[in-house]
Structure 1
């Protein structure tokens, strides 16, 4: 099959190389507003690797594709998803589905009406550790689950010019935790209380953002979830989850590359090279995620639907509101659908 990819920054370029090795993909057709990026990725087919060809951005949707991968800047995601489903193309879109909750609601409704499958990129669903944790919950191995604790910290902060358009730390970073909590537990968030602060660069508060945040979530069965995130963890990329249950606890991310140093005598953590960014932390998950997308193009269900993406976005919208107003927020306060059209 022929898969298109629009947007050839770091994640898009990586996805193109990954797609070349996915069974069933014969060609990856790439496009970018900077045509030189697309031309530079062209490659002939090799053993076990698909060919890469380049077309102008305006020609991509008419390039006889079987599916489309959207890795443009976030502000263009919604436009591309709408156009792709209107063209009947099964689509993979990196998160976020759009940059505002209102537009996410609009895009989700547009996709539902189209009937065309869309897979939104929350790669933790494909990480072996998170999948094992979800199975431990669903199998009953842990008994009832009472508490989850999640950590997501970057080794280094992003560039200053990224922050104003990022949506803030909850929408940019904690949205992955919001999604994977639903994936692991099978439950919905009913309330949140969030805080944040800045001890690092001045460009965070200048953009109305913080460099560190934390959220306390309550799920619909009473389970308590504690999440923290930061732009600063100089030792490495630290992404973990603990799931505490009646019969025991499981942990995701406690491997030899854990970016956390034990001070206990005789302990040797980390035992190997640490992860330095999100891509090195989740490289196998990204590969499995794109294989899941190709399977969806072939007729399998979407592994992460627009409705899943909407719910994660609603949770972080509530977190941001809670931080700004200094109060708990009920999920019922956050819109879950577009308002009904006014009647005359």
Structure 2
């Protein structure tokens, strides 16, 4: 099997390395809108770089990890070519191109997966089963925490889609997935509290959401682009039969201020890749 990875930033490089290590994969080709970036990544990873225009026709399936603004065009190219496609979230920056791509996939009978990885994390899967089984009881309140350890590089910000579409999209997705019902009402707010570079691109470094689901469960979301203690992504669920948390373990970067409370772990999760390698 031959696979192609488009986009040679941090996530694209990670995908390429993981795929190359998979014994079921015979060959990994990489490409980027910048040929120099693709050539550098290929040299670093021991892979082969090709032009973006030729990659889709040269492989059996495609992974898209490029900037968000390029997703619709690249998804369309891969689906029309009949290639199974994995794309990092989101599909697009706006509703219209998102709906157009969904319709295209249906019309073409294509196979497209979007990178909502939390759905496959054992803790979130267990939370979903707890809700389905009735073990949680009636869901009262759900709280999500999504805190990155360091601010984004400036080059990432202009095409990221912003803190809601790039970051909190995971929280909206996992609440819907775990509870099995959509969010129907939202109040959201955001600010630049520390890292002024986000304001340069009409973006934010902190955000908060209050929401309500179709059945009436209440949801709060906390999101920051900087957590001085490390990578912290959690979900707390409170229901009529149980209270549980996902993402809380010996390396979660939180400490208690109670005299006999939990101390900060010696090796808190450093970043996203560190957290999910451990998972």
- Normalising TM by the smaller chain, what interval? over 0.9
- More RCO (CA 8 Å, sep 6+): 1
- Structure 1 pair 39/158, CA: closer, same or farther in 2 (3 Å)? closer
Correspondent of 2:56 among 37, 53, 61:
61
Give distance in 2, aligned partners of 1:22 and 1:146. Answer: 42
SS where residue 233 of structure 2 aligns? Answer: strand
> Is 1:101 aligned to 2:95, yes or no?
yes
The C-alpha deviation readout for 1:157-206, integer Å capped at 9, x for no partner, is: 11234323222211111100001111111111111011122221222233
RMSD: 1.8
Following TM superposition, by how much is the alpha carbon of 1:42 offset from its aligned partner in structure 2, in angstroms?
6.0
**Structure 2 residue aligned with 1:37:** 40
Which region of structure 1 is more displaced relative to structure 2, 72-81 or 173-182? 72-81
Give distance in 1, aligned partners of 2:204 and 2:41. Answer: 35
Following TM superposition, by how much is the alpha carbon of 1:284 offset from its aligned partner in structure 2, in angstroms?
5.8
Give distance in 1, aligned partners of 2:212 and 2:70. Answer: 33
- Structure 1 pair 53/232, CA: closer, same or farther in 2 (3 Å)? closer
5 Å-filtered alignment, 1:222-237, equals 222-237=216-231
Give distance in 2, aligned partners of 1:195 and 1:271. Answer: 31
**Structure 1 residue aligned with 2:2:** 2
Aligned residues: 276
> Is 1:282 aligned to 2:276, yes or no?
yes
- Structure 1 pair 224/163, CA: closer, same or farther in 2 (3 Å)? same
**Structure 1 residue aligned with 2:148:** 154
Following TM superposition, by how much is the alpha carbon of 1:40 offset from its aligned partner in structure 2, in angstroms?
0.9
> Is 1:252 aligned to 2:255, yes or no?
no
Normalised TM-score (structure 1): 0.76
- Structure 1 pair 179/223, CA: closer, same or farther in 2 (3 Å)? same
Correspondent of 1:240 among 210, 234, 237:
234
- Structure 1 pair 136/70, CA: closer, same or farther in 2 (3 Å)? same
Is the contact between residue 257 and residue 275 of structure 1 (CA under 8 Å) also seen in structure 2?
yes
Give distance in 1, aligned partners of 2:152 and 2:136. Answer: 38
Normalised TM-score (structure 2): 0.92
Following TM superposition, by how much is the alpha carbon of 1:31 offset from its aligned partner in structure 2, in angstroms?
2.0
Is the contact between residue 31 and residue 38 of structure 1 (CA under 8 Å) also seen in structure 2?
no
Gaps of 5+ in 1: 44-51, 286-344
- Structure 1 pair 38/236, CA: closer, same or farther in 2 (3 Å)? closer
